[in-house]
Amino acid sequence: MGKYIVKRFIMMIATILIIATLTFVLMHLIPGSPFEGERTTNPTIQANLEKFYKLDEPLHIQYLSYLKSIVTFDFGPSIKKPNESVNELLARGFPISFELGMATILVALLSGIILGTIAALRHNGLVDYFAMTFAVVGISVPNFVLATLLIQHLAVTWDLLPAATWSSPLHMILPIIALATGPTAIIARLTRSSMLEVLTQDYIKMARAKGLSPVRIIVRHALRNALMPVVTILGTMLAGILTGTFVIERIFAIPGMGKYFVESINNRDYPVIMGTTVFYSAFLVFMLFIVDIVYGLLDPRIKLHRKEGDA
């Protein structure tokens, strides 16, 4: 386990470095300057601004300075909001985005596992057909389209729920539904297919022969193995949900990182773009690492090291 953790840690650092480098290169490949479109076009003022943000230095010097900011976790001030640092924007926006993402993951996991399990137990029944129909629709409809429909019908037409901001639990319902529908459908399909396979295994038949209750058989024996495919995709699904919150946050006017990230792209605010990208990349790579550990704990048959004699 120790060797595996060290190996994964080195891979995490390498991945973050690659992402940071690509982000830096892409930012500087974009034509123009962050100061284009400002009210003043005075060349002297623009030159002073570029000097203040070190944009007049050679690219390799800027890159080294950028790497230093990553190591020290000090991304400097925002170009468009000079009175605020990127760290302050992250401290203010990320907790909200994280809360939205974690709530979405929790809802998707609970709903998808329950729906998939019931569909497997009622195979070829009405519940099964409903679950698979929901799964097809949930996967097919993009979350931003679903968000628009939810606002139109549940907030505007029927006035059941608030449509925007993030000031009460009621404000969380619509964005969570918009984000969780797709992952719920995927988890339900995986759980159903995996559960159908597990229920035919010999150890399940043996558990039934011993007279164990159906609930105990499902919860303690079948569900644990049936969740392996779900755990496998959980890392990438988490990444998709956390980055997908950016669009949903803009639609529902949620003051998370999506607001600052989209604005930074429109304004070419290099420090915010690069700081946010590196921060999210590091967070998501770490979460993928946790998922790998959980995957190994759920299935003791999985070895975290190569067997003797393996190449």
Nearest partner of 252 among 162, 184, 139, judged by Cα: 162
Per-residue pLDDT of 173-198, as tens digits, reads 999 999 999 999 999 999 999 999 98
Average pLDDT over residues 243-270: 84
Q: With bands split at pLDDT 50, 70 and 90, how would you rate the model's confidence at 11? A: confident
**Top-confidence residue, 125 or 303:** 125
**Top-confidence residue, 49 or 227:** 227
DSSP 18-76: HHHHHHHHHHHHSSS-TTTT-S---HHHHHHHHHHTTTTS-HHHHHHHHHHHHHHT---
What is the pLDDT, as a whole number, of residue 1? 61
Region for residue 98 given its phi and psi (left: phi exceeds 0; alpha: psi -120 to 50; beta: otherwise): alpha
User: Is 50 exceeded by the pLDDT of residue 204?
Assistant: yes
Single-letter code of the amino acid located at 171: H
What average pLDDT does the structure give for the chain? 83
Least confident range of 91-100, 115-124, 226-235: 226-235
What is the pLDDT, as a whole number, of residue 29? 82
Average pLDDT over residues 246-255: 89
**Top-confidence residue, 137 or 308:** 137
User: Is 90 exceeded by the pLDDT of residue 300?
Assistant: no
What is the pLDDT, as a whole number, of residue 26? 85
Q: 131 by DSSP, 3-state: which?
A: helix
Per-residue pLDDT of 136-186, as tens digits, reads 888 889 998 999 999 999 999 998 999 888 888 899 999 999 999 999 999
Q: 153 by DSSP, 3-state: which?
A: helix
Supply the pTM of this predicted model.
Answer: 0.80
**Residues near 175 by beta carbon (within 8 Å), at least 6 away in sequence:** 100, 147, 245, 248, 249, 251, 252, 254
Least confident range of 126-135, 149-158, 245-254, 297-306: 297-306
**H helix runs in the chain, sequence order:** 2-29, 43-52, 59-72, 86-121, 126-140, 143-150, 169-198, 202-209, 214-216, 223-226, 228-251, 257-267, 270-298
User: Is 70 exceeded by the pLDDT of residue 98?
Assistant: yes
What is the pLDDT, as a whole number, of residue 281? 84
User: Is 70 exceeded by the pLDDT of residue 296?
Assistant: no
**Residues near 263 by beta carbon (within 8 Å), at least 6 away in sequence:** 80, 269, 272
User: Is 80 exceeded by the pLDDT of residue 243?
Assistant: no
Q: With bands split at pLDDT 50, 70 and 90, how would you rate the model's confidence at 40? A: low
User: Is 50 exceeded by the pLDDT of residue 34?
Assistant: yes
DSSP 305: S
What is the pLDDT, as a whole number, of residue 297? 65
